[in-house]
Amino acid sequence: MSTFGNLPLTEGPWVRPTAELPAEPRWGHADGLQIGLAPLPGPRGLIRVYAPYLGHTRERVVNFFAIEPTPAGADERGYSELEWSELDGASGKRLWSLDDPADTQPTDPLHPARGVVDKDGGVERLTVFIGCERFANGADVYLRATFRADRPHEVAVALFRRDSSVPLNRATISATMGNWARLRRLHLADRVVTPKELWPGFGGDGFTVHARFGLASMLREADGAALVTAEPDEEFPATAAYAEGTRDHWHYLGERAAQSWRAPAPGPDLEVLVNGRFCYWASQSPIPGGTSFENFELSEPFVDGREYVFAVQPMG
């Protein structure tokens, strides 16, 4: 038992919530990448991403996923972390887990779905659906997360539009906390780009503008998948010196790792977007080494159920 209910069970290659309630909402590889939901530590409206194989403590989050849909005819996104809930008035949209995406009613966060285990091409996989309350812009979506037993450092994510939703232009899943790992090297097909090159002289406590790179700039795999990877530029990020007053939760720990997005079936308008910060979020504390990438995402015109794969691979 933890502060948040009964601990997840390890069943074969998987970590899944126990059927004994209350239960922690956490799923994934027993020895690999995992995801979780509030009330596990972190802002509401975000999906927690864990990589305990990097030598992290159990509740150390390596990154977060935000859900950010844009209606047809609009340019402004909805933000699952920043919007106020219309269900309970709290900050952050409410997220909950489902085994059957046809269920539309929010559930108790400590009564999580266990996820469904099946096989695809002889490979075992674990799938859990995540419901999200309706956005102020009228977007109504849910997410599918799939883990494959043969890919322990990955999770595949896809967004689906409910019939009750307004039409969508885009629906982005953004990895929102690159600053913690101090990601500074973005690997493209023919070059590596850095924040220093993209936003020379940037400072302050806000975000840079987004830098955007189209499909032609991305690495391509033999099967046609598009790949983009961001990694730290420090050999030993856990030994960095921090400015006085920097909160402990910003201090990197464990092994360094590369974070990547892969689009198995990229459309012609696929882009990778990154922005940066000079100071850690919600603080005046400068990031050791200067500006680093913060939001790291793939974006393209909305296709219902289009899948993207996020990975956190140890670099040694």
Q: Are residues 43 and 144 in the same domain?
A: yes
pLDDT given for residue 23 in this prediction: 97
pLDDT given for residue 3 in this prediction: 82
Q: Are residues 254 and 189 in the same domain?
A: yes
Q: Are residues 16 and 115 in the same domain?
A: yes
Q: Are residues 36 and 55 in the same domain?
A: yes
Q: Are residues 171 and 248 in the same domain?
A: no
pLDDT given for residue 306 in this prediction: 98
Residue range 261-267: mean pLDDT, rounded: 98
133-175 pLDDT, tens digit each? 999 999 999 999 999 999 999 999 999 999 999 999 999 999 9
Q: Are residues 144 and 188 in the same domain?
A: no
Give the domain-ending residue among 146, 176, 206: 176
Give the domain-ending residue among 120, 151, 176: 176
Helix, strand, or coil (residue 201): coil
Q: Are residues 96 and 207 in the same domain?
A: no
The Cβ of residue 150 has, within 10 Å, a number of other Cβ atoms equal to: 11
For tokens 């700039």, what's the residue? 217
Q: Are residues 57 and 184 in the same domain?
A: no
> Which residue range forms the structural domain that includes residue 269?
178-316
pLDDT given for residue 66 in this prediction: 98
Tokens at 156, concatenated:
């595949």
Q: Are residues 191 and 280 in the same domain?
A: yes
Give the domain-ending residue among 143, 176, 209: 176
Q: Are residues 169 and 192 in the same domain?
A: no
Q: Are residues 131 and 199 in the same domain?
A: no
Q: Is the pLDDT of residue 290 over 90?
A: yes
- Side-chain half-sphere exposure of 306, counting CA atoms within 13 A: 18
Q: Is the pLDDT of residue 2 over 90?
A: no
> Given pLDDT bands bounded at 50, 70 and 90, which one contains residue 98?
very high
164-223 pLDDT, tens digit each? 999 999 999 999 999 999 999 999 999 999 999 999 999 999 999 999 999 999 999 999
Q: Is the pLDDT of residue 87 over 80?
A: yes
* Structural domain total, the chain: 2
Under 8 Å between Cβ of 126 and 147: yes
